[in-house]
Amino acid sequence: MTSTSLSRENGYFGEFGGSYIPEELQKAMDQIEEAFLRYKDDPEFQKEYEFYLKEYVGRENPLTLAQRLTDELGGAKIYLKREDLNHTGAHKINNVLGQILLAKRMGIKRIIAETGAGQHGVATATACAMFGMECVIYMGKKDTERQALNVFRMELLGAKVVPVDIGEGHLAEAVDEALKDLMENYQKTFYLIGSAVGPHPYPAMIKHFQAIISEESKRQILEKEGKLPTAVVACVGGGSNAIGAFAHYIENPEVRLIGVEPAEAASLSTGVPAVLHGFKSYVLQDEDGNLQPTTSIAAGLDYQSVGPEHSYLRDSGRGEYVPVTGQEALEAFQTLSQLEGIIPALESSHAIAYALKLAKELSKDDVIIVNLSGRGDKDVEQVFEMLRD
Ligand SMILES: *Cc1c(COP(=O)(O)O)cnc(C)c1O
């Protein structure tokens, strides 16, 4: 019995999720939902998805025991699920491939996406290049400036990057522009969302494609330890790597599911239930409904809302959600680099920072899986600047 399948009715996870969008846009969602339901369990489609995960992404990736880190802390054993070793250096490609294959089945050749840090844009542009699809990426103007190298990467891969110079010039504005494009062009365009957010069916669809993370890690931990982990820890931006890392453990109540948010953008810890970008979830907004600016050092976590299933897992008590500060993440970034020879993404460093605390509280018989959502090469220059100040 899994709480997700029980809670998921018409795209709702308890009171969260749903589809709060104009009627014109609902047609696009219905079209996507129909295709997703038709193909998700189709053996041919699955075979194709698995083929590209293996041959292009490089799955399955390892579940690495962090031995020196474990010894240093003297508590629970820490394993790292190595999404950082995927092609393009993070978990996002899992979902991108799944959605592009779906678009292909629908006969659509134009892909649009929005990106904050640039990581989802790069993953999307990468897969579009491989499949020969047209690719348009919306990006907040300020984000194009702070991630200039990623803009160049996307252009190198053949994508068109559209800077969005509205409001704060961040992810939220880029999402609005992408939705506008979809509304006008949905018959020939697929909107590829990069996190477990958006109106139904996106959160369920993205979880489906990211669930490969926990499908593998469960098999791997049973092989290595002969038992399930005490806890699975993952960072939460929109929540796609976390929901993928949790998915196959939701049905095992003895496994703690811990989502780590940046204290500077902690939707689940300090937000309120509200509708943003077409779905209901916890949102960082003031009493007048104005979005609060977020200031996480990890651009990929800087979002004012969160995937609706996380809101449900939080309220139902199945998931635990904790904030970690940028400073703590920065320290964890260095600790993992020095003790394990793995430079983690600043996003993933939030999960590591919490695992460092948790491991000390647990015993040597306990096992923690940390989802290492991405590699930190993209962040080295930023960390260099921060440590120099
Ligand atoms: C984008 C990104 C995240 C945050 O996105 P989620 O949807 O919350 O997983 C986390 N880690 C890395 C490395 C990322 O690129």
Using DSSP, state whether 235 is helix, strand or coil. Answer: strand
The one-character DSSP state at 263 is: G
> Which of the listed residues 91, 214, 354, 371 should we mutate to test ligand 1's pocket, taking the one with most ligand atoms within 8 A of CB?
91
Kindly give the residue spans of alpha helices, DSSP state H, lying in the chain. 3-7, 23-39, 43-52, 67-73, 92-105, 119-131, 141-146, 148-156, 171-185, 202-210, 212-225, 240-246, 267-270, 308-316, 326-340, 346-361, 380-388
Residue 274 phi/psi, 5-degree rounding, is -165, 170
At 281, which helix (H) or strand (E)? strand 279-283
SS3 content of the chain, % helix, strand, coil (to 5): 50, 20, 30
Specify the ligand 1 atom closest to the Cα of 210.
9
> Which of the listed residues 150, 209, 240, 241 should we mutate to test ligand 1's pocket, taking the one with most ligand atoms within 8 A of CB?
241
Specify the ligand 1 atom closest to the Cα of 89.
13
pLDDT for residue 116: 85
Residue 196 CA to ligand 1 center (angstroms) comes to 10
Specify the ligand 1 atom closest to the Cα of 206.
7
Ranges of residues in the chain with a pLDDT under 50 are: 1-8
Ligand 1 pocket (Cβ < 6 Å) reads 90, 92, 119, 195-196, 235-242, 300-301, 345, 347-348, 373-374
Give the residue whose CA is nearest to atom 3 of ligand 1: 300
Residue with tokens 């940028």: 326
Give 122's strand partners.
none
Burial 168-199 (b: 16+ CB within 10 A, else e): bbbbbbbbbbbbebbbebbeebbbbbbbbbbb
Q: Positive or negative CA dihedral for 113, 217, 308, 296?
A: negative
Q: Distance between CA 378 and CA 115 in Å, rounded?
A: 15
Residues annotated as part of the active site:
92, 114, 373
Give the residue whose CA is nearest to atom 5 of ligand 1: 237
Q: Distance between CA 129 and CA 117 in Å, rounded?
A: 20
- What Cα–Cα distance (Å) separates residue 84 from each residue in 132, 256, 352, 368? 25, 23, 13, 18
Give the closest residue to 197 by CA, choosing from 243, 161, 166: 243
Give the closest residue to 127 by CA, choosing from 151, 152, 102: 102
Residue 103 CA to ligand 1 center (angstroms) comes to 22
Give the closest residue to 310 by CA, choosing from 215, 240, 251: 240
Residue 323 CA to ligand 1 center (angstroms) comes to 16
Residue 285 phi/psi, 5-degree rounding, is -145, 160
Residue 386 CA to ligand 1 center (angstroms) comes to 21
Residue 7 CA to ligand 1 center (angstroms) comes to 24
- What Cα–Cα distance (Å) separates residue 120 from each residue in 31, 186, 279, 374, 381? 23, 20, 20, 12, 19
Q: Distance between CA 290 and CA 48 in Å, rounded?
A: 43
> Which of the listed residues 80, 85, 92 should we mutate to test ligand 1's pocket, taking the one with most ligand atoms within 8 A of CB?
92
Residue 332 phi/psi, 5-degree rounding, is -65, -35
Give the closest residue to 101 by CA, choosing from 38, 153, 29, 182: 38
Residue 347 CA to ligand 1 center (angstroms) comes to 6
Domains of the chain: 12-52+91-206 (3.40.50.1100), 58-90+211-388 (3.40.50.1100)
Q: Distance between CA 240 and CA 84 in Å, rounded?
A: 15
- What Cα–Cα distance (Å) separates residue 320 from each residue in 217, 233, 258? 20, 10, 5
pLDDT for residue 302: 87
Q: Distance between CA 109 and CA 185 in Å, rounded?
A: 12
Does this model's pTM top 0.85?
yes
